[in-house]
Structure 1
């Protein structure tokens, strides 16, 4: 039994579309593109510097449009609702920005795992395990 955590993700939105192209490693499937949008905002007590501004984020993530990819998409949606996918952190330049939290996202359709892209044969299994550890299943 896992407890369900709630994170410190700022206000944002997610939308998804199906792209009629395949991802490396999934030659027979279309691609799910998830678009995450966070406007600039003011940090709350959950963030590193309450009352200070942070820079927003626009980010796309990619999943294969197959049974396993759609399952992971639903789990990522649940994690988004529980505010677990993103957080506010200070970047290398000392600026407070919205960034991904502890769940990795595939932000490139290709290029391999070094650049958060495909092919990555373990990604779907890994992200499901990490989400399960946070109470999302």
Structure 2
């Protein structure tokens, strides 16, 4: 609902084949600043006039990430090899906390720290989130990567803070 991508695109959120980020507990122990491996893309957002489960008095922020087909560079699994495009929608409540998180997402995206190219279990290279979890469905709970999820805003705020070294 509300997304313009197939369910096949969503598998990159699961960090397959051990190529994904460290667990949140381990990420805090890493040393130097992260190296940018985010491919060229675009981040936009809109306000949807509907609420998310668990946020009955707030509208919804739909954050859209678009990456065109590209070629891997240094820092990616197979430099010189192509990767397919990605369109990913993420959802936040349009609240004070949701807007703060959106601002952190924009900062991390501009610093090219939100996405990278990774290889899935089938050997396919694709653009995937880099250590920051996204809610890619407005509903369905944690099983469907949606809301309600009472810990999500705290979790994503912490992941963004670590990624931005704030």
When normalised by structure 1's length, the TM-score is 0.93
CA distance in 2, matches of 1:72, 1:99: 19
Query: CA-to-partner distance for each residue in 1:22-53, whole Å, 9 max, x for gaps?
Result: 00000000000001000010000121100110
> Aligned residue for 1:102?
131
**RMSD across aligned positions (CA):** 1.5
Per the TM alignment, residue 6 of structure 1 is displaced from its structure 2 partner at its CA by 4.0
Give the structure-2-normalised TM-score.
0.77
Higher strand share: 1
Matched, 1:27 2:38: no
Structure ranking higher in helix proportion: 2
State the secondary structure of the residue aligned to 1:134. helix
Tell me the number of residue pairs that the alignment of Structure 1 and Structure 2 aligns.
136
The equivalent of 1:40 in structure 2 is: 69
Q: Matched residues in 2 for 1:18 and 1:6: separation? A: 32
Evaluate the alpha carbon distance shift between residue 3 and residue 93 of structure 1 in structure 2; reply closer, same or farther with a 3 A threshold.
closer
Q: 1:118 aligns with which of 147, 157, 162?
A: 147
Shift of 1:5: 3.2
Q: Mean alpha-carbon deviation: is it higher for 14-23 or for 89-98? A: 89-98
Unaligned runs of 5+ in 2: 1-30
Does the 8 Å contact 1:5/1:82 carry over to 2?
Answer: no
Deviation at 1:85, TM superposition (A): 1.3
